Each structure stands twice: as structure tokens, then as C-alpha cells.
Amino acid sequence: MISVSYSHGISLGKTEMQNAIEKMGSIAHPILFATALCLLFVSVNLILPIFLQHKTWLTPVSAIFLAILLLISIVFHVKYREKPKIFASLTLFFISIFVAYGRYLIVPY
């Protein structure tokens, strides 16, 4: 997720992204920057409870937020990309739902 945050926030020069950015228009850069910030925040918060033993609620909340971001990304990729790659987003969506469910209900801290 951190590498996706980097690619959507800083390195926007990929040719596959340029066509989608042109289709989105002037709103593309703020959306990509917000996406990059959210992904960076979620990525850090998924591993932060390892170091902060008393903030155990961060993992399921971050996993749910990541799942929501991934659903939004699927919509954007299908709408704006010429060749949408949604398999990875779907896989990560199900993993994040499993993490949220597992950390909240199955094995709470």
C-alpha cells in the first residue's frame, strides 16, 4: 500500500495513468493526492499497533477504511482506465475485510 501511495501521490508519470488523468480532468490531481495520503495513513496504522500495545483498535478500523478505499478504487479504475486491473484490488479488499473481522471479532487484543 505504501508503494501505491507513492505511485498515486508523487510519480504520476506512468503512461497508463496519464490517460486516466486526462479523462478525469482537473479533479484528478487532488483525488490522487488524497488517495495517496489516505493509503499512507492506513498503511502505517495497520502496523502501528505492533509498536503501540495499547492502541489495538487501530488495526480493525484501518482495515475497514482500507476496504472502503479499495472499493472506491475499483469504481475509479473501471470508469477511467482503458484496461482496468481490479483483480489485485478485489484480492486486497477481501484480505482487509478478513483482517478487520479477525482482529475485531475472532482474536481481539
pLDDT score recorded for residue 40:
85
pLDDT of residue 7: 67
Could you list the pLDDT tens digit for every one of the 109 residues in the chain?
Answer: 777 766 666 666 666 677 777 777 788 778 888 888 888 888 888 888 778 777 777 888 888 998 998 898 888 888 877 677 788 888 889 988 998 888 777 766 6
CA atoms within 13 A on the CB side of 27: 4
Specify the pLDDT at position 67: 92
Sequence length of the chain is: 109
The rounded distance, in Å, linking the Cα atoms of 65 and 101 is 13
Q: Is 41 exposed, middle or buried (0-12, 13-18, 19+ CB in 10 A)?
A: middle
Q: Would you state the cell numbers that stand for residue 29, as one nine-digit string?
A: 490531481
